[in-house]
Amino acid sequence: MKFLGYDEIDQQDAYVLNMMAFGWPLTPTRLKARVKHDDRWYDDSPLYAVVKGKAVSQIVGLRIPTRTVDGKETVMGVAGVTSLPSHTRRGYSYKLFEELHKRFLEEGIRIAFLCTGKSLVAYPLYRKFDYRDIQYFPRAAKPLIKRKKPKGITLRKYRKKDAPEIDAIHRRFTRDLYGFVLRQDDFIGARGKAWTGLKDVLSVVETKKGICGYVIKREMDGDVVLEEYVVPSVQNSDRILRYLESQEKGDYIMAHTFAGKKQIDYFKSRGYRLTHESWDLIMATPLSKSLSHRELSRLYQYKKGKFCMLGLDTF
């Protein structure tokens, strides 16, 4: 078995691996777009386990800036973990984790995070490397109310010139939180270039006074699903929620990937029913022996509800 990068393998192997596991076609063009527009991606990712010239297992390692109580900390983000069905349970993913952990630790990166589902087959593998559950992605749901929309609110498509204001709104919204809150300039615009579908679900929120927030929302048979809801002003937030709840079609509105306990409590106070545990969660492990899980909790304030990862920050 060899460990090889994307440029060193038969790239059709990578295409098949990702389509089978995620339904996402990893091609040289798409990978180039990710690396170009998303600062978390580097040229040396993904990494593959290659057996007899065939890439049979994959892992992606990202370098991601985070905020801790002690300041900025660049961490390793693990994504894209998959193997061919014919090569599962043979230790290839385990070996890839060992190799990737080693490489990042040699760079001085002390902490690794990943996003997963507790029902996935890979969950026991993560536990073997002492990844522990940090936070679920809870869900908040409420019936849609058939009523007139509040006036003076406009939801429109994102424009490139909006970037400075949107970046400032996100910084203000997450200023008291820790974790995945440090974004590159025009992060939303950059993600839109790497993920073309973002432009169809992203809305900038305006009032007469200008931009006051943004919303990433999907509609499913008329129901509304909020994947990011970033509105710093409580007064504006209440008006925008009423606007979104006043849909002419559909029965329910659901929100998830909240910015800490404060936002969860906000939705709960507005009549949303919370499901705190879900199948989707964030896990973390110390790569350095000098760190403990107790120290990770202190750095990121998990137990105090100050840890944040919004929808676009997942990987």
CATH at residue 249: 3.40.630.30
Mean pLDDT of 128-133: 97
Q: Within this chain, do residues 18 and 127 fall inside the same structural domain, yes or no?
A: yes
pLDDT at 197 (0 to 100)? 87
Q: Within this chain, do residues 269 and 150 fall inside the same structural domain, yes or no?
A: yes
Q: Is the pLDDT of residue 248 over 90?
A: no
Q: Quick: pLDDT tens for 88-117.
A: 989 999 999 999 999 999 999 999 999 999
Q: Is the pLDDT of residue 302 over 80?
A: yes
Q: In what order do the strands lie in the sheet with 154-156?
A: 154-156, 202-207, 210-220, 223-230, 252-256, 139-143, 273-275
* For the chain, percent of residues with pLDDT exceeding 90: 86
DSSP code per residue over 123-169: HHHHHHTT-EEEEE--EEEEE---SPPPSS-EEE---GGGHHHHHHH
DSSP code per residue over 34-73: HHHH-TT--TT-SEEEEETTEEEEEEEEEEEEEEETTEEE
> How far, in Å, CA of 298 to CA of 23, rounded?
37
Q: Within this chain, do residues 211 and 130 fall inside the same structural domain, yes or no?
A: no
pLDDT at 195 (0 to 100)? 80
Specify the number of domains making up the chain: 2
Backbone angles phi, psi at 79, to 5 degrees: -145, 175
pLDDT at 45 (0 to 100)? 85
Q: Within this chain, do residues 143 and 132 fall inside the same structural domain, yes or no?
A: no
Model-level pTM greater than 0.75?
Answer: yes
Q: Within this chain, do residues 130 and 21 fall inside the same structural domain, yes or no?
A: yes
Q: How confident is the model at residue 235 (pLDDT cuts 50, 70, 90)?
A: very high
Q: Which residue has the tokens 């939180």?
A: 177
Q: Within this chain, do residues 195 and 132 fall inside the same structural domain, yes or no?
A: no
Q: Within this chain, do residues 123 and 238 fall inside the same structural domain, yes or no?
A: no
Mean pLDDT of 75-89: 95
- Please, which contacts does 170-175 make with residues 24 or more away whose CB atoms are closer than 8 Å? 170/230, 172/232, 173/213, 173/230, 173/231, 173/232, 173/259, 174/259, 174/308
Q: Which domain holds residue 207?
A: 139-275
Q: Is the pLDDT of residue 34 over 80?
A: yes
Mean pLDDT of 74-99: 96
Q: How confident is the model at residue 146 (pLDDT cuts 50, 70, 90)?
A: confident
Mean pLDDT of 199-209: 93
- Lowest mean pLDDT across 77-91, 138-152, 225-239: 138-152
* For the chain, percent of residues with pLDDT exceeding 70: 100
> How far, in Å, CA of 41 to CA of 33, rounded?
10
pLDDT at 234 (0 to 100)? 94
Mean pLDDT of 286-290: 96
Q: Within this chain, do residues 146 and 230 fall inside the same structural domain, yes or no?
A: yes
* CA geometry: angle 142, 144, 150, nearest 5 deg: 115
Mean pLDDT of 6-12: 96
Q: Within this chain, do residues 33 and 112 fall inside the same structural domain, yes or no?
A: yes
Say if strands 178-179 and 307-308 run parallel, antiparallel, or are unpaired.
Answer: parallel
Q: Within this chain, do residues 132 and 46 fall inside the same structural domain, yes or no?
A: yes
